[in-house]
């Protein structure tokens, strides 16, 4: 099938490359010329596992890049809109990019098309897209609007797209449903996963992902409700972690006992410095705003957001209680991306924490396996960036772990201890076992667990010194 994907960001580029991988002919359209020229020269502008391989495999054959939206729409049967939907100042989703795409494609709709919302949008957006396209001259019977929310996670986006838990398709008639079913058929039939060239199948993959057919409004709501639920799970366990700290329980043990209940499940029970990224913060605000607009005060979401902010404040308090005064302290920081596996720093808790520490007068040397260049653009010259974890730790008063990169889970601890001025680690992602850290000579703070330190220090320090609440 011939497909246009509008937007070559984290979602659009992955969607385009994966549809090409499934055998479709795809044009990815963007209005950012620098991104387009990088893509045309074979560069992959984002850090995402397997994406460079797919771009190399299909670019110039089944995958093209263009700035000519109208031409591309004329030649396609399905048009996926994957542009950004950031937060407006009042918390609502700013849908101006979506509107501008709808306006522009209107003139190119002559024979039948399905216009598909891939971006995360509030309920009722599909009706607005329809109105805008018709208002700008398209024949109402020459197109349908569908909602096909994207559930990929940055860091495993390609695998998530090609081996999804489910595919949600919101439509208003059979004609558009048939086109979307056909587009995803290589996934729902299992044909793709049987190909010798398929990207490695994750162990958690569903044999045959279900395509869930809904109304457009339900599909729009499914996406907002999914992200709100996942964020709630994170804030819930962070609140539990706070109680654990107060009563001297171990949140990891609690997670183990909680997550093995099949009704709850272990995923997203990760206590830490809170969620970030380009989705949860803005999607929760947008869901809150759209619920209010339609007469429901979704106060649960206010609390989820409040706990998330509080989590960063509590972490900063932990840094203070570990180091006493902060002005002039030199801190090593591991992690800048909002989570491991990506170079995305949008709403990254690491960046927000670094900014707060800079304001308190700390000097910071940071390391991230993929996000350094993006972080440099927003942190400017106030932070020194290092080439590896040990350089970040060199001569620092303490080391902060702020992103859950796999490589941070297996650091050479004796070497780290030698690099640091004081062997103090403040772990915002619970990557290490507290007792092991103490045995290795570290004073170690984490989330929802009691601080630990080597025996010779523990016996000489009053208990209040270790209090972090």
CB-nearer residue toward ligand NAD: 154 or 368: 154
Window 98-157: residues binding ligand NAD (CB under 6 A): 100-101, 119-120, 150, 152, 154
Which of 244, 255, 279, 362 is catalytic? The answer is 279
352 is an interface residue for ligand NAD by CB under 6 A: no
- 8 Å CB contact between 28 and 63: yes
85 is an interface residue for ligand NAD by CB under 6 A: yes
Stretch that binds ligand NAD, among 79-87, 173-181, 188-196, 411-419 (CB under 6 A): 79-87
Binding ligand NAD (rule: CB under 6 A), the pick from 32, 99, 172, 250 is 32
What SS3 state is found at 444?
Answer: strand
Binding ligand NAD (rule: CB under 6 A), the pick from 3, 4, 5, 10 is 10
What SS3 state is found at 47?
Answer: coil
C-alpha distances in Å from residue 465, one per residue of 459, 461, 469: 12, 7, 11
443 forms beta bridges with 424
Query: Whole-angstrom Cα distance, residue 188 to residue 206?
Result: 10
Site string for ligand NAD, 246-285 (x = CB under 6 A): --------------------------------xx------
User: Of 159, 139, 161, which is closest to residue 149 (Cα–Cα)?
Assistant: 161
| Whether 279 is catalytic | yes
CB-nearer residue toward ligand NAD: 120 or 159: 120
Least distance in angstroms from the C-beta of 150 to ligand NAD: 4
Query: Whole-angstrom Cα distance, residue 196 to residue 209?
Result: 19
73 is an interface residue for ligand NAD by CB under 6 A: no
Query: Whole-angstrom Cα distance, residue 340 to residue 228?
Result: 21
- 8 Å CB contact between 102 and 27: no
97 is an interface residue for ligand NAD by CB under 6 A: yes
- 8 Å CB contact between 149 and 316: no
16 is an interface residue for ligand NAD by CB under 6 A: no
- 8 Å CB contact between 235 and 314: no
Q: Which residue is nearest to ligand NAD (CB)?
A: 9
Q: Residue numbers of the site for ligand NAD (CB under 6 A)?
A: 6-12, 29-32, 35, 82-85, 97, 100-101, 119-120, 150, 152, 154, 278-279
Q: Residues with catalytic annotation?
A: 279
């Amino acid at each position: 099938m011939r497909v246009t994907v509008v937007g070559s960001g984290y979602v659009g580029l992955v969607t385009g490359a994966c549809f090409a991988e499934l055998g479709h002919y795809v044009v990815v359209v963007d209005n950012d010329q620098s991104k387009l020229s990088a893509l045309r020269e074979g560069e992959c502008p984002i850090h995402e596992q397997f994406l460079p391989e797919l771009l190399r495999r299909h670019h110039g054959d089944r995958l093209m890049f263009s700035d000519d939206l109208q031409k591309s729409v004329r030649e396609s049967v399905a048009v996926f809109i994957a542009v950004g939907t950031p937060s407006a100042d009042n918390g609502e989703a700013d849908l101006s990019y979506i509107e501008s795409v709808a306006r522009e494609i209107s003139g190119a709709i002559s024979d039948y098309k399905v216009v598909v919302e891939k971006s995360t949008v509030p309920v009722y957006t599909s009706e607005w897209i329809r109105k805008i396209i018709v208002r700008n001259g398209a024949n109402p019977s020459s197109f349908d609007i569908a909602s096909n929310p994207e559930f990929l996670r940055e860091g495993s986006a390609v695998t998530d797209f090609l081996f999804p838990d489910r595919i949600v398709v919101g439509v208003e008639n059979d004609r558009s449903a048939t086109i979307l079913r056909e587009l995803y058929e290589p996934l729902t039939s299992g044909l793709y996963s049987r190909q010798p060239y398929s990207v490695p199948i994750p162990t958690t993959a569903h044999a045959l992902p279900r395509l869930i057919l809904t109304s457009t409004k339900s599909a729009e709501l499914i996406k907002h409700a999914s992200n709100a639920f996942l964020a709630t799970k994170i804030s819930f366990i962070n609140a539990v972690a706070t109680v654990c700290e107060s009563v001297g329980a171990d949140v990891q043990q609690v997670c183990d006992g909680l997550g093995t209940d099949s009704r709850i499940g272990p995923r997203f029970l990760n206590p830490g410095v809170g969620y970030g990224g380009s989705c949860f913060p803005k999607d929760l605000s947008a869901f809150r705003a759209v619920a209010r607009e339609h007469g429901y005060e979704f106060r649960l979401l206010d609390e989820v957001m409040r706990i998330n902010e509080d989590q960063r404040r509590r972490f900063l308090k932990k840094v203070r209680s570990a180091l006493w005064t902060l002005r002039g302290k030199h801190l090593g920081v591991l992690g800048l991306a909002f989570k491991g596996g990506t170079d995305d720093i949008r709403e990254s808790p690491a960046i927000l924490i670094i900014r707060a520490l800079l304001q308190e007068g700390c000097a910071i040397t940071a390391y991230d396996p993929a996000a350094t260049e993006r972080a440099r653009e927003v942190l400017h010259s106030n932070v020194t960036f290092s080439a590896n974890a040990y350089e970040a730790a060199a001569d620092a008063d303490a080391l902060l772990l702020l992103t859950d990169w796999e490589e941070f889970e297996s650091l050479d601890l004796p070497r780290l201890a030698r690099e640091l001025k004081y062997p103090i680690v403040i772990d915002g992602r619970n990557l290490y076992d507290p007792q092991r850290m103490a045995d290795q000579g570290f004073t170690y703070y984490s989330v929802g667990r009691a601080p630990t330190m080597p025996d010779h220090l523990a016996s000489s320090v009053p208990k209040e010194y270790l209090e972090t609440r």
